[in-house]
């Protein structure tokens, strides 16, 4: 039972990837396929951020340890989809036109913050192994709090690219803020009862 659990979650996490691959090869992306791929991978990055951030609250509520056991994998899928998203923008959309890309990153705040969020993911990926947890000790936990900033950046990235105030980008920000507030309150409650 335990042995099929992780591969099962892994396969589930790949479903969005299979969907977009299927759509690309069968040309089911509509009039603006590149935008479609960009939005799809971007949105799934945000969804995985939300899922990842839900794991420790879920553990607290349910007392099941397996939420924490799959957290690392979920976090790595955040990076996976974020990288697909970035590659879509750099390779498919802008065809490695670096002057245009650099110009965008520097001048456009939504691209800047999105790129910053992706960069911040890198140290988390590099220190995601069991070994690094031991090496970094309590610093590991501190370092991995970066995901809170990444989450906020990610949702702002979505909000700022929209032409006007849209419902959907705001929903992500609200969910993320909710998941973060959940943490703050929990810690306070725990420390007070001690």
Partner 1 sequence: MKIFKYSEITPENIYKNRRKFIKNMGLAAGSMFIGQNLVTSANANTNKEELKLTDYRYVTTYNNYYEFGTGKSNPVERSQKFKTTPWDVVIDGEVENPIKISMDEILEMFPSEERIYKLRCVEGWSMVIPWLGFPLNKILKKALPTNKAKFVKFISVLDPEQMIGQRFPILDWPYKEGLRIDEAMHDLTILVTGLYGKKLPNQNGAPLRLMVPWKYGFKSSKAIVNIKLVDKMPTSSWMKASPNEYGFYSNVNPTVDHPRWSQATERVIGGGIISPRIPTTMFNGYGDEVANLYTGMDLKKYF
Query: Which residues are at the interface with partner 1 (CB under 8 A)?
Result: 24, 27, 29-35, 37, 92-95, 100, 103-104, 107-111, 160-161, 163-166
Compute the least distance from the CB of residue 132 to partner 1, in Å. Answer: 37
Nearer to partner 1, 168 or 187 (CB): 168
Nearer to partner 1, 4 or 167 (CB): 167
Contacts of residue 114, defined as CB under 8 A and 6 or more positions apart, other chains included, come to 153, 154, 157
Nearer to partner 1, 74 or 156 (CB): 156
Compute the least distance from the CB of residue 31 to partner 1, in Å. Answer: 4
Compute the least distance from the CB of residue 98 to partner 1, in Å. Answer: 14
Rounded CA separation 51/12 (Å): 13
Cβ atoms of residues 55 and 9 within 8 Å: no
Nearer to partner 1, 33 or 57 (CB): 33
Tokens representing 58 are 């879920």
Nearer to partner 1, 9 or 29 (CB): 29
Compute the least distance from the CB of residue 108 to partner 1, in Å. Answer: 6
Compute the least distance from the CB of residue 17 to partner 1, in Å. Answer: 16
């Amino acid at each position: 039972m335990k042995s099929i659990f992780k591969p099962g979650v892994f396969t589930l996490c790949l479903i969005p990837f299979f969907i977009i691959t299927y759509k690309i090869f069968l040309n089911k992306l509509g009039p603006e396929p590149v935008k479609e791929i960009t939005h799809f991978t971007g949105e799934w990055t945000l969804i995985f951020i939300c899922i990842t951030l839900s794991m420790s609250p879920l553990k607290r509520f349910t007392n099941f340890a397996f939420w924490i056991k799959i957290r690392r994998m979920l976090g790595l899928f955040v990076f996976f989809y974020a990288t697909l998203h970035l590659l879509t923008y750099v390779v498919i959309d802008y065809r490695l036109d670096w002057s245009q890309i650099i110009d965008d990153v520097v001048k456009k705040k939504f691209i800047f913050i999105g790129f910053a969020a992706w960069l911040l993911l890198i140290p988390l990926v590099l220190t995601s192994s069991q070994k690094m947890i031991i090496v970094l000790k309590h610093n590991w936990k501190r370092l991995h709090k970066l995901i809170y900033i990444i989450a906020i950046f990610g949702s702002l990235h979505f909000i700022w690219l929209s032409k006007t105030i849209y419902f959907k980008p705001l929903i992500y920000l609200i969910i993320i803020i909710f998941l973060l507030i959940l943490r703050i309150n929990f810690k306070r409650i725990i420390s007070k009862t001690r």
